[in-house]
Amino acid sequence: MGDNKKVAVMITDLFEDAEYSKPAKALKDAGHELIHIGIKKGATVKGKRNKQEVRIDKAISNVSIDDFDALLIPGGYSPDKLRIHGEAVNFVKNFVKKEKPVFFICHGGQLLISADVLKGRKVTGWKSIKQDLINAGAEYIDKEVVEDDNLISSRQPQDISSFNKAIVKKLD
């Protein structure tokens, strides 16, 4: 193992800047390639702090889970905006079903809730979605990082260094 992996980053406007930029840097520094997927190829999406801009490499309608080794879902408002798009929800659902690594932080779990893939899984997330995660069948654990097989989740920006260590290790 230890070879370069292709990581899909599912992202749209109003993502939490640090929850994208820091994991993205950690993955790139470890030699992995990031492919930003969103609603419209070529669009530029902005973080909610207006510091970070990300260009969408591929439209969600034109990608296959087979093209990627892992999926990163940054938090902020981005996951909530993405989950109204059936293609985004199905991509996440199929990614989890194929047991490929899925990394999500803060509100990223909202996409997994909509994909209905959390029954019996151990996860964490931002405290405002705790009840939603539980209602979706997950066991909510209030820790910096929760690993459950192919799912790695974190609660908030303060947890990012632990999150980054876990996701980089998972791809080694």
SS (H, E, C) 12-44: CCCECHHHHHHHHHHHHHCCCEEEEEECCCCCE
Shortest CA distance to 149 belongs to which of 109, 114, 120? Answer: 120
pLDDT category of residue 3 using cuts at 50, 70 and 90:
confident
Instruction: Name the catalytic one among 32, 36, 85, 107.
Output: 107
Name the phi and psi angles at 88, rounded to 5.
Answer: -65, -45
For the segment(s) 6-171, the CATH number from 3.40.50.2000, 3.40.50.970, 3.40.50.880, 3.40.462.20 is 3.40.50.880
Structural contact between residues 103 and 13, judged by C-beta atoms closer than 8 angstroms: no
pLDDT by residue (tens digit) across 92-130? 999 999 999 999 999 999 999 999 999 999 999 999 999
107 is catalytic: yes
Crossing angle for the helix pair 17-29 and 160-171, to the nearest 10 degrees: 40
The whole-number pLDDT of residue 1 equals 44
Question: Does 85 participate in catalysis according to the annotation?
Answer: no
Q: Which of 32, 36, 85, 106 is catalytic?
A: 106
Q: Which helix (H) or strand (E) holds 96?
A: helix 86-97
The pLDDT, as a whole number, for residue 126 is: 97
The whole model's pTM is what? 0.97
